[in-house]
Amino acid sequence: MGPEEQEAMKLILNASLAATVFAWNRARREDVLTSIQCGFSFLHISIPISDLHIYDKLKTNREQVLKQLEHTIGLAKSHGCRVSVGAEDASRATCEQFLQVAELAARLGAERIRYADTIGRLDPFSTYEKMLPIMAACPIPVEFHGHNDFGLATANTLAACQAGTQYASTTIAGIGERAGNASMEEVAQALRVMFHYQTTVDSQKTNQLTKMLEQILDRTSENFFNQPVMKPYFRCPHPYN
């Protein structure tokens, strides 16, 4: 985390939001300490759990990664922080590998684990199939984090909810790395309309929020083909150009 990001983090914390704000960390001592320094009392600590990421990216082995997780959770806990654990690239790991991390996390006092489909390679059917055995055995609540590389982030998040995951990871208008993540409006709307969930998401306010975001990102909201759930995929050339 650079100084500018730390500044931003502090601003978010000081905005005294009703939401629970937590900081994303790699399983590294320096990350955890910086977050604590910024004033966070809830930390998300992420490790990759697929062989590909462990051997090709971190160039280490599974024992080492788990040991690192153990140390960083211990460090966070010793500062009195609440902890959530992230399992990066879980969709390319096995169910057993995920549960191994979940059990370790639970034993160390983490209260939630995130299942990340890091490259968006799941479809709703495989999501459901993979989440069912996990939900049956996982000792702590699970959060599903989908990516939109095949345009399926919303559908996958819904399928995970159908399989029983307690948390859905979403972003406003689905912004995110590459093709983005699941969009909060779409997931909330679909859960409300199709599965009759009670959500606290106010659709009018999310529309305002989406518009605000589009202004900030310079994506105009015209030409969305009257979709009630907006997805800023197209934009019109500026009328005066």
Partner 1 sequence: MVRPPIFVDQTLNQGLKQNLSPDQLAELVRYMTELGLTDADIQVAAWQSLGRNFMPPFAQYRAVIDPCVHQVENACKSGFKIVNIAIFYHENVETDSLLLALVTAKRLGLNTVLQIRNASELSTQAIGDFVASLEWSGLDSIMFCDEAGLLDPMTTYHTCMELKKRIAVELEFCAYNKMGLATANTLAALRAGIRKVTTAVAGIDSYAAFEEIVLGYRFLLNQPIEISSNLAPLSRTVVSCLGREVAVNKPIIGHHVFAHESGIHVDGVIKNPELYEPFAPELVGLSRRLVIGKHSGTASLKAKFLSWNLPLTDFDASLLLGIVRRKAINQKSPLNDCQLIDLYDEMLGRGLGCEAGGDEICRAEKKYSLSIQRYGMVNKRPVLFSQRRKSWQ
Binding residues for partner 1, rule: CB under 8 A, are 2, 4-5, 8, 26, 52-53, 56-57, 89, 118-126, 128, 148-152, 154-156, 158-159, 162, 174-180, 183, 186, 189-190, 193-195, 216-219, 223, 225-229, 231-237
User: Which of 102, 23, 118, 30 minimizes the C-alpha distance to 66?
Assistant: 102
In angstroms, the CA 219 to CA 226 distance is 16
Give the number of C-alpha atoms closer than 13 A to the C-alpha of residue 198, restricted to the C-beta side.
Answer: 0
Q: How far is the CB of 80 from partner 1 (least distance, A)?
A: 27
SS (H, E, C) 81-137: CEEEEEEECHHHCCHHHHHHHHHHHHHCCCCEEEEECCCCCCCHHHHHHHHHHHHHH
Residue 231 and residue 181 in contact, taking contact as beta carbons nearer than 8 Å: no
The nearer residue to partner 1, 61 or 107, going by C-beta atoms, is: 61
Q: What is the dihedral of CA 207, 202, 145, 10, to 10 degrees?
A: 80
Per the rule left: phi > 0, alpha: psi between -120 and 50, beta: everything else, 188 is alpha
Amino acid at 216: I
The nearer residue to partner 1, 41 or 162, going by C-beta atoms, is: 162
Q: Enter the tokens of residue 139.
A: 């000792």
